[in-house]
Amino acid sequence: MLSLGISRILARIEDGIFEGLPNERAKEFPLQFLNAINVGADLSMVFPKFMHWLLVDSAHGIIKFAKNKEAIQTVADLYQRKIDGENINLNEWLSVRETSAAYVAYADAADAAAAAYADAAYADATYAARQKARIIQADKLLELLSNAEI
């Protein structure tokens, strides 16, 4: 835990979102993040809920863009089980990681190859899309923090 009582993983998510936000929103986001947390809130389910949303949300989830939707859904299902109160053992997480690792390596290579051929207009559009995604992610994280049970 950090000295503010925020888990390291939530702090890293906040920082990653912050780094990708447009400048004006980035200036406001750290304070919005802290203000969204109610005193005494249990933040333990914020990360699993955020990850589940990030993976399979019908409007913004990664699954919309994935070639291997089954791997994404498998990970999301583990997060849902955690949200539902089930204790997921380490072997289950490791098994899913091994199954998904080959796909991730392939996807990273494909993304790198595509980027090598991208022109400036494509790069600008990609940058704008990433900023838009970070704004949506920031809003969702703030919502989850503010709704965490006390």
Pick from 20, 55, 53: nearest CA to 134: 20
Please tell me the total count of domains within the chain: 1
Is pTM beyond 0.75? Reply is yes
**Is there a domain that residue 62 lies in?**
yes
Domain with 39, as residue range(s), is 8-146
pLDDT on residue 2? 45
Q: What is the mean pLDDT of residues 30-58?
A: 91
Over the range 67-82, which residues count as b (16 or more CB within 10 Å of their CB) and which as e?
ebeebbbebbebbbeb
Dump pLDDT digits (tens) for 130-140: 888 888 989 99
Within 10 Å of residue 65's Cβ, how many Cβ atoms?
9
pLDDT score, position 70: 82
pLDDT over 50 at 113, yes or no: no
Task: Assess if residue 1 is contained within a domain.
Answer: no
Residue 2 lies in a domain: no
Is 97 a member of any domain?
A: yes
